[in-house]
Structure formats: structure tokens, C-alpha cells
Amino acid sequence: MKEKLIKTMELTNGMQLNFYDASRRLVGDRWLISLIIRMEIPVVEVLINDEKQFMDSVGEIKKVLGEKVLFEQKRDRIFVSESEKQTVFGEVYNFFIDSVLNYLSNKAFPKRYVLKKYREKVEQESWYH
């Protein structure tokens, strides 16, 4: 099965979270249950709207990362029987909502994530130069 968009959620910090079902049959009646969560974060918008301290470096950050940064998490359960796949998928989804949603909804999350990705990319590029 290809990824199927199952839900879109607007977060309190203005970001949009997309939920995808990427579950697929493994063998016989056994399934890989796979939930993918994605959020596109606009680099310039989160840096400029949040604090003016980034005004000088926004161009450099955008040059390194591009227009948007993709946040993605994948949650899997392997070898689930076909009769339990809907139940297990619901459990995986609910666990994500209960454990991570407040963190992603935090007003500071988009900016922090963009800056983290920027630092990682700059550090990675310094290894090769």
C-alpha cells in the first residue's frame, strides 16, 4: 500500500500536521502497520515572525536549508495480524497524539526545529570541506 493521507491537523502554533497510513502486507495475514507524521515548516516565516534577532542570518539559513524544512516521524508495528491491524493502527495513532502532539504544538517548536536542522547541515557540510 502506498502512503495514504488520513488526517490533517492545524496546530496551535500555526503549523499543519499531516498523518499518513503507509501500512502494507508482509506475508500471509501479517502486516507492517506504519504511521507517518509530516509537517512542512516555512524557514523564513518562522524565523522572521518569531524574533527579530534572526533578521541578519535568515538569508544564510534559507540558503542552506531552502524554503521549507520537513519534520517527519514514522511509527511502526511489525508482524500484526490482519484481524488486529485497525486496532493496532489506532493505538499507534493515539500514542503519538498523547505523547508528542503538545510538543509539536508548542509555539517555539518550528523555530527550534529549523535552527537544529541548520546546525546539523552546517556541521555535516564542514566534514566534507
pLDDT digits over 16-72, tens only? 999 999 999 999 999 999 999 999 999 988 887 655 565 558 888 999 999 999 999
Res 96: pLDDT: 97
> 83 forms bridges with which residues in the sheet?
none
CA distance 17 to 14: 10
Question: Contact, 38 vs 70, CB < 8 A?
Answer: yes
Measured in degrees and rounded to the nearest 5, phi and psi for residue 74 equal -125, 130
The pLDDT mean for the chain works out to: 92
Res 107: pLDDT: 94
